Amino acid sequence: MVETSHRDGERYVVAEADRQKFERDGYVHLAGVLSEEEVGDLEVTYERFLHGEIPVAGKDFCDMSGDYARGVEQFSIINVMLPRKYWPKWRGNVYERRAWTIAEQLCGAGMELDYDQLLAKRPFKDDAVFGWHQDLAYWPTETPDTRTATCWLAIDDSTVQNGCMRFVPGTHLVPLRPHAPLHGDRAKSHTLVTELVKGDEVRLAPIRRGDITVHNERVMHGSGGNKSAGWRRAYVVAFRSRETVAWERAHGFTHSHNDQREVLDQVGFANSAGGERNEPLEQSAEE
């Protein structure tokens, strides 16, 4: 039996203990998924996106903490949705290939890349906070197969100071919680947020450049502001079952922020029967 998860050519081998953590907690940290050289290659294109050298349509280039009215220079969390759509040469890159082997080990056969995303926090941005949420609040809830592995690659060492990911383990096992648009209206920003409740245990997930975390569609997560002098850059590739991706596309849902408003209004939390009733904490446990 494999004792430690590790890279193995095109594959990444997930140890049984890590597979169990993913099932139990709703997320897992996997070290050394990409080599320094592999991250360095991806970084060249990543920087071109950040500098606006690769055109991205409309709301697919936005700020996940501010509203759509904010000017690009003021963005705190630069979000590029669907980079492989705008830079087709990225399709099939080493990260996608290796992450797919991880998704299949964690979730079983028949997984497909559903969407990709870049999330870069500028230095010294206290408000680069990614609010607490469950990804499913953004997505159709009635899809036939809900297996999900969202891989989050650290391009920079991701630290408590620069706003690493944080999770509430086990929340992938409870019903979807109530979510609301961060700026009151999804026409103003795409971001949805929910609140911590009593009993939630927050776990920070600092990871090194080249490491990933993988999370389930229901686990509550978010991240804090960037108090450091450096960037916190992440590259997400999310896998779901082939049937689910086909279902989403047939319903006009592509994970683009430019998807039709009527489609966005009918998916995720907006269309759920409502979350469980929990007593909100008076303030966040950490900030």
Ligand X SMILES: O=C(O)CCC(=O)C(=O)O
Can you give the binding site for ligand X, defined by CB under 6 A? 119, 130, 135, 150, 152, 165, 221, 223, 234, 236
Please give, one letter per residue, the 3-state secondary structure of 93-162. CHHHHHHHHHHHHHHCCCEEEEEEEEEEECCCECCCCEEEECHHHHCCCCCCCCCEEEEEEECCCECCCC
Give strand pairing partners of 116: 237
Which residue number, 153 or 250, has a Cβ lying nearer to ligand X?
A: 153
Rounded to an integer, what distance in angstroms lies between the CA atom of residue 20 and that of residue 177? 24
Write down the least CB distance from residue 158 to ligand X, Å: 9
CB of 2 to ligand X, least distance (A): 26
DSSP 8-class letter at 255: S
Closest to ligand X by CB, 90 vs 167, is: 167
Q: How far is the CB of 248 from ligand X (least distance, A)?
A: 16
- Estimate to the nearest angstrom the gap between the alpha carbon of 23 and the chain centroid: 18
Q: Provide Rg for the chain, Cα atoms.
A: 18
Looking only at Cα atoms, what is the longest distance across the chain?
53
With 0-12 / 13-18 / 19 or more C-beta atoms within 10 angstroms meaning exposed / middle / buried, residue 5 is buried
CB of 187 to ligand X, least distance (A): 21
Instruction: Write down the least CB distance from residue 59 to ligand X, Å.
Output: 17
The answer to whether residues 179 and 269 touch, using CB atoms and an 8 Å cutoff, is yes
- If the CB atoms of residues 16 and 127 are measured against ligand X, the closer one turns out to be 127
Residue 22 vs 130, nearer CB to ligand X = 130
In the bound state with ligand X, the residue whose beta carbon lies nearer, of 90 and 139, is 139
The residue at minimum Cβ distance from ligand X is 223
Count how many residues are written for the chain: 287
Which residue number, 15 or 202, has a Cβ lying nearer to ligand X?
202
Least spacing, CB of residue 170 vs ligand X, in Å: 17
